[in-house]
Structure 1
Amino acid sequence: MRARRIPRAGVPHGPVGGAGYRAVMVPALPPSSVPTARQVADRWVDTLADLDPSVGTALGTRPDDRRMPDLSPQAADEKADASRRVLADLDAAAVRDDDDRRCATLLRERLTAQLAVHDAGEHLAALRPIASPVHALQSIFLLMPTATEHDWDVVADRMAQVPAAAEGFRASLAEGLRRGVRSAPRQARAVVGQLDEWLAAADGRGWHAGFVAGADEAVLPGALRTRLDEAARTAASGVADLREWVAAQYLPAVADEPDAVGTERYLLAARLHTGADLDPHEAYAWGWDELARIEADMAAEADRVLPGAAPQEALAHLDVHGEVVEGVEEVRAWLQRMMDTAIAELDGTVVDVAEPVRRVEAMIAPPGAAAAPYYTRPSLDFARPGRTWLPTLGRDRFPTWDLVSTWYHEGVPGHHLQLGQWAHRSGDLSVYQTSVGSIPATTEGWALYAERLMDELGYLRTPGERLGYLDGQRMRAVRVVIDIGMHLGLPIPAARGFHPGERWTADLGEEFFAARSGSPAAFVHSEVERYLGWPGQAISYKLGERAWLSGRRRARERREASGETFDLRAWHTAALGLGSLGLDDLERELAAL
């Protein structure tokens, strides 16, 4: 069975903690001094770490924090109140240079967008099979250091608090029911299925038991081993209770909830993921045009793979007859070599890679994770490197045609070069600009741009690899069409040859995706489920790539119009040093480089 890729945003691209952390110090100011925008932003990161322990764990700044995140509605309200205070501080901050200006713009945009989403109560309906607060019950442990007895002591204390965190999330969902802000039943069913996977792991002892079983017995005294095992049992009990409540109480209560969120909620969500005020009708029409362009390119490439074959036939042929890697460890090592080679060959020619960013690790994803590859950032001190993660889904045979461009996206020159470079520059810019202030369209847009860049540079060496790249591009264009179409209930244009004039539904979304994907039906279903539960995120890839390409084109035109030579290496290096920006600002900043 072959699964397509869904690079995870938000949680999956969060910075990863590790052993050997350094604290992020914000210089103290004399009482009379006016703080800069960057200092306001970095103090906000410290406040966030106080409010949400997963922030300090992810950044690698608070390795001894034993708390689990508070997922209750009260905690969300407290964070919103703190956000409003920061906006007031930002009004009085000094803007002393371009980095300050960009930081102030980013912080204001992010806080404003997040407060709009909070005030609409969306945090009370965040039940979905990806990047939901429920996933913090697992993911936070993957970010923690586990090298020493002390590390495992912290893990034991935190793991024992999983039931309290699960109860906080249950309270948020219950408050959503009370207010009439609800997730759709398909999202609840999907999460129940994931929690079933967690509970079935480690021979029925649960995912947390499997995690602590990996502790090095040589560094554990017997008492700590006992505590870890008990904490894992406690965590499994909390997961089981949440699973039972969602299945028995929440699902019946949302049985009539529609899948689509409608225009108002969609535009709020799209702003959160893109940092831009979306014109959904323009984006919808552009998505159709981009899909047509890609499909024409695919038809030509499919003929090179298998003369006379349509794209779907060529993809099926590659699954059976294309290049393949046999074995889980073998594919991990193959992906590692691929990233190491890309760094060695691109550094100094296409982009300048900072020394600590040269290290990246290919990993196998844990069970119950997303159904497709993803990336996790390095800690700020690079004690734990950036990592790519491949879910095997029980497979031990891996066709390479759809892995090559995916690893250019997830690893090098995609997420790893951008997010690793941000970590490297966090002292020059601000920790906020280079970590928690990330905007999905900027990061996913760069990663999709990176795939296209490698195609431009000739790294897709076979027709199969290029067809795999185009298949991924097609999927992202499909996302724009059906994500906007389903949530807004838009009509399908008559000229597109698919249910002309009908309005989008989840069933039509699955039918459309299936006809334009080489993926199994179960994966197509999970993709559409994801879009419906996470509105506005799926469009960030293609709209972000569009901004990166436009910024590069405009920068080249500006340089050449003034008689200069456009230096692609210098442009990439400068672009990766900007830090996070929303799409309203990104293209303008890129064009000026």
Structure 2
Amino acid sequence: MVPTWWFVPVRRATAPPHGRAGDYGRGMSTASDHPEPTPTVRELADAWVETLADLDPVVATSLGVRPGDDRLPDLGPDGLAALADAERAVLAALPSARVLDDDDRRCAALLRERLETRLALHDAGELLATLRPVACPVHNLQSIFLMMPTATPDDWAVVARRMARVADAAASYQASLAEGLRTGVRSAPRQAEAVAEQLTQWLSAADGAGWFADFVARAGVPTLEGELTRAAASAADGVAQLRDWLTATYLPAVADVPDGVGRDRYLRSARSFLGTTVDPEEAYAWGWGELARIEAEMVAEADRVRAGASAAEAFAYLDAAGAAIEGVDEVVTYLQGLMDDAIRDLDGRVVDVAEPVRRVEAMIAPPGAAAAPYYTRPSLDFARPGRTWLPTLGRTRFPLHDLVSTWYHEGVPGHHLQLGTWAYRSGALSRFQTSVGSISATTEGWALYAERLMDELGYLEDPGVRLGYLDNQRMRAVRVVIDIGMHLGLRIPASAEAAGFHPGATWNAELGEEFFAARSGSPAAFVHSEVVRYLGWPGQAISYKLGERAWLAGRAAARRRREATGGSFDLRAWHTAALGLGSLGLADLERELATL
């Protein structure tokens, strides 16, 4: 999973550093005696990234630019409105931008689709109801510090100034949620409860010292100790106030909000993750069929783990007696080696890996993170490498069946290889195509494809590891079924694929958890966390499988095209070219992949 900053709309509260004016048209023609030429699409898109960095300091830090920027976003209604105004201005300028080549053509389609999708969410008020346990705007008030430079006293001085602004940023987010209450756009109780619990974890981390205090304690800069301590205390107070307001005010006000968002809201949200409009009924039916196919494979693989065992029995055996890594430090070392080995093995044989992309770091996730592993991108200059993050959830033993294919997904050849390549190519493409214009179906689809690729290449021959891979595939098919089913209130079919699971019943959160638990090898706490996440992030969960479907279809079409003309299909060349395309919507992705 890749956390996204794209859904964190903000505005500049104070003048940005380095004299940037924050105008999308910076560098474009103005009324003067020497008007500049009309920009190309890529120039317009790059100017838009600069504007986003002006408006949203999280974007700048994520990209690794403006390291001295100590601002935090205005997450309030005024910030939402300011960003929407800027987005409309770019859309107005786009038709006159010059299209020089295919990269410009793809960039124009992406820029239009992303801006129109985001404005549709804004105009419907959806950005006033963004509580969820992953990629919620308030999470950036923790994660931004993990992306900041901390090598020098000057770096820590920036951290101190930015941390002192956390309380104001949290208050501005509260203002947006309050506006949502006023206008009737509300998150469901499960989402508010989940975020309040995460904030409590921040506050109680490090044996009660709190996450912010624990973070600044590592500075080791005596001259800044007082400033850092005060900033951490202020940040903790701001987080505590937001948590208490969620519990005392927000939760009672949303007690009647259903978990599912309904068809119209679902289609708006799903488009933001797919880059196109989905046919939910077709995807729902396809998800059932894909689930049946995967489970048939799991029967055979479970028998290889233990003769005659069901999948559930095989997982119970693997959890108790299968191969595992003991210790938190040890699992970091193992995961680092897994990714380093994959880069060495695949480079030049399956894909070409640029030198800067060869560096990736395995990390342990901070307290209060989501239950699932995730990846964070490198900065554009690679000063901050790409990183995978493992939430330990209190564990010190890590079964291999639950790790290997997941790290091929999060690390190499998954998210890191794609997003690292994008960062490497950000000078040739627009920064928008390789960073803030990302579409989940393109990135999560590639990462799921990467797991399948490693299976095709023979890296998952161990029965337990391969059963874990199939379980990951099954989980993504389950996501398609229950995400669409719960949000649209569809009925469970009386079919062989459903295997007698409540035939004819209407999906709800409780049935979603029951189904997920029955069709996965995951513990109850993870199952609950996942279902709450799907309900708070409508349409994101389907982007994995639908994205993988597009990658596979594009590869198959490219192979057929090559072979139809008597040529041979070069998998290494195809992968290298495909990763160099940058972000695309789902329909555009499949079409472009077929031409490579």
TM-score interval w.r.t. the shorter chain?
Answer: over 0.9
In the other structure, the counterpart of 1:365 is 365
In the other structure, the counterpart of 2:179 is 175
2-structure distance, mates of 1:461, 1:437: 36
Amino acid at match of 2:535: L
2-structure distance, mates of 1:87, 1:146: 38
CA contact (8 A) 2:315 2:521 kept: yes
2-structure distance, mates of 1:8, 1:63: 22
Amino acid at match of 2:114: R
Pair 1:262 & 2:266 matched: no
Cα distance, 1:221 vs structure 2: 3.7
2-structure distance, mates of 1:8, 1:57: 16
2-structure distance, mates of 1:372, 1:527: 8
In the other structure, the counterpart of 1:147 is 151
- Aligned residues between the structures: 574
In the other structure, the counterpart of 1:569 is 572
Partner residue of 2:95 out of 88, 91, 106: 91
Deviation track 1:156-184 (CA, whole Å, cap 9, x = no partner) reads: 00000111001000000000000000000
In the other structure, the counterpart of 1:507 is 510
Amino acid at match of 1:159: M
Once the two structures are superposed, the pairs formed by residues 110-259 of structure 1 within 5 Å of their partners are 110-215=114-219, 217=220, 220-222=221-223, 224-259=224-259
Cα distance, 1:12 vs structure 2: 11
Deviation track 1:359-399 (CA, whole Å, cap 9, x = no partner) reads: 11111111111112111110000011111111111111111
Aligned residue for 2:582, secondary structure, equals coil
Deviates more, 1:187-196 or 1:439-448: 187-196
1-structure distance, mates of 2:459, 2:334: 16
Deviates more, 1:125-134 or 1:259-268: 125-134
In the other structure, the counterpart of 2:581 is 578
Pair 1:304 & 2:304 matched: yes
In the other structure, the counterpart of 1:101 is 105
2-structure distance, mates of 1:12, 1:148: 30
CA contact (8 A) 2:483 2:535 kept: yes
In the other structure, the counterpart of 2:406 is 406
In the other structure, the counterpart of 2:84 is 80
Aligned residue for 2:431, secondary structure, equals coil
In structure 2, relative to structure 1, the CA distance for the partners of 1:320 and 1:102 (3 Å cut) is same
2-structure distance, mates of 1:202, 1:493: 48
Amino acid at match of 1:311: A
Pair 1:522 & 2:512 matched: no
Deviation track 1:496-531 (CA, whole Å, cap 9, x = no partner) reads: 221111111111111100101111112111111111
Cα distance, 1:13 vs structure 2: 12
In the other structure, the counterpart of 1:540 is 543
2-structure distance, mates of 1:207, 1:62: 25
Cα distance, 1:276 vs structure 2: 1.1
2-structure distance, mates of 1:214, 1:471: 39
Pair 1:556 & 2:559 matched: yes
Pair 1:10 & 2:4 matched: yes
CA contact (8 A) 1:362 1:389 kept: yes
In the other structure, the counterpart of 1:69 is 73
CA contact (8 A) 2:273 2:441 kept: yes
Cα distance, 1:8 vs structure 2: 4.2
Cα distance, 1:487 vs structure 2: 0.3
Give aligned-pair identity as a percent. 72
2-structure distance, mates of 1:265, 1:13: 16
CA contact (8 A) 2:28 2:38 kept: no
Amino acid at match of 2:100: R
In the other structure, the counterpart of 1:386 is 386
Amino acid at match of 2:516: F
TM-score by length of 2: 0.95
1-structure distance, mates of 2:7, 2:324: 28
Aligned residue for 1:325, secondary structure, equals strand
In structure 2, relative to structure 1, the CA distance for the partners of 1:268 and 1:12 (3 Å cut) is closer
2-structure distance, mates of 1:226, 1:209: 11
CA contact (8 A) 1:12 1:131 kept: no
Gaps of 5+ in 1: 1-6, 15-22
Aligned residue for 2:432, secondary structure, equals coil
Pair 1:375 & 2:375 matched: yes
In the other structure, the counterpart of 2:534 is 531
2-structure distance, mates of 1:352, 1:31: 42
Aligned residue for 1:244, secondary structure, equals helix
Over the aligned positions, Cα root-mean-square deviation in angstroms equals: 1.5
In the other structure, the counterpart of 2:355 is 355
Aligned residue for 2:338, secondary structure, equals helix
TM-score by length of 1: 0.95
In the other structure, the counterpart of 2:13 is none
Amino acid at match of 2:113: E
Cα distance, 1:202 vs structure 2: 2.2
In the other structure, the counterpart of 1:283 is 283
In the other structure, the counterpart of 1:3 is none
In structure 2, relative to structure 1, the CA distance for the partners of 1:11 and 1:78 (3 Å cut) is closer
Deviates more, 1:570-579 or 1:315-324: 315-324
Cα distance, 1:548 vs structure 2: 0.1
Amino acid at match of 1:42: D
Aligned residue for 1:203, secondary structure, equals coil
Amino acid at match of 1:326: E
Amino acid at match of 2:80: A
Aligned residue for 1:494, secondary structure, equals coil
Aligned residue for 1:202, secondary structure, equals coil
1-structure distance, mates of 2:580, 2:28: 25
In the other structure, the counterpart of 1:20 is none
Aligned residue for 1:375, secondary structure, equals strand
2-structure distance, mates of 1:373, 1:67: 28
Deviation track 1:422-463 (CA, whole Å, cap 9, x = no partner) reads: 000000001000000000010000000000000000001201
Aligned residue for 2:75, secondary structure, equals coil
1-structure distance, mates of 2:169, 2:3: 22
Cα distance, 1:320 vs structure 2: 1.1
Amino acid at match of 1:344: R
CA contact (8 A) 2:275 2:584 kept: yes
CA contact (8 A) 1:449 1:545 kept: yes
CA contact (8 A) 2:5 2:59 kept: no
1-structure distance, mates of 2:360, 2:390: 14
Greater relative contact order: 1 or 2 (C-alpha under 8 angstroms, separation 6 or more)?
Answer: 1
Amino acid at match of 2:349: T
CA contact (8 A) 1:302 1:310 kept: yes
Gaps of 5+ in 2: 9-19, 21-25
Aligned residue for 2:140, secondary structure, equals helix
Deviation track 1:214-242 (CA, whole Å, cap 9, x = no partner) reads: 21x2xx242x1110011000000000000
1-structure distance, mates of 2:492, 2:566: 46
Aligned residue for 1:86, secondary structure, equals helix
In structure 2, relative to structure 1, the CA distance for the partners of 1:313 and 1:448 (3 Å cut) is same
Amino acid at match of 2:49: V
2-structure distance, mates of 1:400, 1:449: 20
Cα distance, 1:203 vs structure 2: 2.4
Cα distance, 1:73 vs structure 2: 1.0
Aligned residue for 2:460, secondary structure, equals coil
In the other structure, the counterpart of 2:63 is 59
